[in-house]
Structure 1
């Protein structure tokens, strides 16, 4: 038997970007062919995609940790690393994605709707891509960025046009079984429905879906019974159908009080259900006492403004009228919905006075936050002096040095780039503004020093030989 799971916590980790390669092209008679290190590949994304064949989150309940593949590092010969493969995770229609604080990140409704839960890291640039007119032979490459890793909560909210709500054993499962082809479990004891059941109903030219939600009891919105776990499944419905038992054997219950209790629980839960159309179904009129009670309470319910239908799921009485009435309400609701527009891309240009980073002082420590400086730090190999100098020059061009001075930073003050958990902390020296002077001329690779020195020695040796030859030509042994 398939287990129904409609809420899971998923731990996703996108792939890391591959590191760039620092390489020098070498071949016979051409030892100094220039930098030819390729770029690293992009890390794979973790993507949630709606799949109509998936109806439960059971797979993620058993395997909550999912990771995409990493990008491959670049290689010499201008060979870029292979991109990591995206990890596509199918989810049911109506899945809501939330962060750890309960904020909605995405509402996935409709076949093929997708959301990138974790973005893969960028691949690092190789030294061939870093070469420029001023930096002809970089002796370093950029590191790949780590992929995004985070925890998300997936909640399934059933996508149905009509939701049947009511007490346990009110006859909801029997009703959905005769209105549609659904085959829910039916028995004469409470809570036979432990998961929402979906059925498809055809009434004339209108086709709609109907959901049987597990029975509600007083206190359901506070966690009593099964109601709290499944009340979310009525949030997307167009019509709420109160299924009231007119043949209950409990002396302290009657259809009107049952309706009042269920309405109180729906109001306590919230979910924007106040404006949904309501229909009341007085079920089990095949029982003599049930038909008599239905006739007694119907005027009171209609006086409250409800459309009331007397039906018997067992005897199939009153079902056609109910089915077409629901179809009419569903059709009117669909027609009133705004036309779905095609996806639009909203471009928000950066403000002219937005530097892209901030500098704040926190107990004597100056913290730099911003997308660019933090990304550059992640891509820097701090074991390579030239790479560190390149980072210093980039930060200087961005204006970080100037902002630190304006904030009151002095030589030797602590500076942190990034958040607390992964910040890079160093003692600030204003001379970092001239990183090239600190680390030597940028663009010169120590691997080129020996060949250049050897070439210079050959040139000096040839010049000395030519000078000696000139002196020999002017020498007269008989003088």
Structure 2
């Protein structure tokens, strides 16, 4: 028999993005084929999806580590890497997802509901995507980003309209077996029910679900017995039914004492926020097929009704009283459904970014009075994508940061050349390319800064000049004649 697990901690990791590639097109008779490096593929996401056929979190108990597929790297000839495969984790309806510190991430209700638990890393751009009129032949590519990682707590809270609560051996499992097609384990010893059981019941035109919870005893809200472990499964129930064992022979037990003890545990567990006691509206006096139990019903009915409870004497064995109980539960469920507010339309509020918001901040480093920390999604992502073993890639990063305004903000914050600047996980000594604020973004974008194509073009011109000088050194000087040219008299375009 499969174990029932309703609370687990899973360690999820999304896929890493594939690296872009720096490649040059090579083909016969085409020596200047240009860059053709493809982009890396995005990493796969870790997704939670509600599956009606899943009823427990047992799979994650045995396999708590879940990882999505990595994106494939790019290749030459403009071939992009494939996207990593998503990891879809199928969970039961009613699963609450939270962080290890208790912050709720999602409450999954409804078949097919999906939520991305960890997003895959973005793939890096190849040099073909980085080429532009000023940088015609990039000799570098961007790295793929790492996927998100998270330790998430999955907690199952059963979705049921009616919850049966009571002492151990009160007959809750027998009751749900008699009223539905569910077949829970039934025996004549306490704590036979170790997991919540769910049954579907139809009374007239109303169909509703009923769940029984392992027996509650005094102290259940503080962890005694099995109560604390399974009390979460009654949080979503619209109606709570107290099943009372009318044939118990335990000393000190009577219907009123049982109800008082149960209300105390529900109040301690749920408090005023959940108001579980307010949902306790029906008392089921079970096992009236026992002669002494039937005689006791008349003694307690008036007292229980005075407490505002509807009383239904039943026998799960013979079926006596079950139809009336079923119709009463259906009416209570219908009343609850009618009182539910209409679902509000989803409204999305778009807040435009302020005109002076560059998407990053510059602050003093709390660990280094002489250092600075740059925080922001763009600069931190750019740093993660940079291959620091490639000087051109580092220059490209510096140009991007300069155009974003990072150097200007650092100068305004009091940074001077040589100060330590931290962006993400990288710390470097600041070397400003130009005095901050001297040029507009349009002007600075056309300059030959660090790592741009102008530097490569200068190198190409220097190489061409050296080749021309060598050629001229090997050339035989022209003889000066009446109608000829000397070497010094050659036109500029010929020399």
**What residue is the counterpart of 1:269 in the other structure?**
269
1:406 to 2:417 alignment: no
TM-score (norm 1): 0.91
Moved more, 368-377 or 172-181: 368-377
- State which of 302, 305, 314 in structure 1 corresponds to 2:305: 302
**What residue is the counterpart of 1:442 in the other structure?**
453
- State which of 344, 361, 367 in structure 1 corresponds to 2:373: 367
Structure 1: gaps spanning 5 or more residues: none
Shift of 1:3: 0.6
Shift of 1:460: 8.7
Alignment of 1:46-195 (within 5 A): 46-195=46-195
**What residue is the counterpart of 1:219 in the other structure?**
219
Aligned mates of 2:340, 2:43 — CA distance in 1: 40
Distance 1:68 1:455, change over 3 A: farther
The Cα offsets for residues 68-88 of structure 1, whole Å up to 9 and x where unpaired, read as 110011111111111111111
**What residue is the counterpart of 2:295 in the other structure?**
292
CA contact (8 A) 2:392 2:452 kept: no
Distance 1:329 1:449, change over 3 A: same
Distance 1:31 1:317, change over 3 A: same
Shift of 1:451: 11
1:389 to 2:395 alignment: yes
- State which of 429, 432, 446 in structure 2 corresponds to 1:430: 432
- State which of 357, 360, 363 in structure 2 corresponds to 1:357: 360
Shift of 1:459: 11
The Cα offsets for residues 286-314 of structure 1, whole Å up to 9 and x where unpaired, read as 22222222221221221121112111111
Shift of 1:335: 2.2
Shift of 1:189: 1.0
Distance 1:172 1:470, change over 3 A: farther
Q: Secondary structure at the match of 1:390?
A: helix
Alignment of 1:459-470 (within 5 A): 461=471, 468=478
The Cα offsets for residues 339-397 of structure 1, whole Å up to 9 and x where unpaired, read as 33565555343333433122222141321211111111110111111111111121222
Shift of 1:324: 0.7
Moved more, 240-249 or 276-285: 276-285
**What residue is the counterpart of 1:322 in the other structure?**
325
Aligned mates of 1:410, 1:153 — CA distance in 2: 46
Aligned mates of 1:343, 1:468 — CA distance in 2: 86
**What residue is the counterpart of 1:13 in the other structure?**
13
The Cα offsets for residues 214-235 of structure 1, whole Å up to 9 and x where unpaired, read as 0111111111000111011011
Total equivalences in the alignment: 470
The Cα offsets for residues 414-453 of structure 1, whole Å up to 9 and x where unpaired, read as 21112xxxx211122233778976636436559x967994
Structure 2: gaps spanning 5 or more residues: 437-443, 486-495
TM-score (norm 2): 0.88
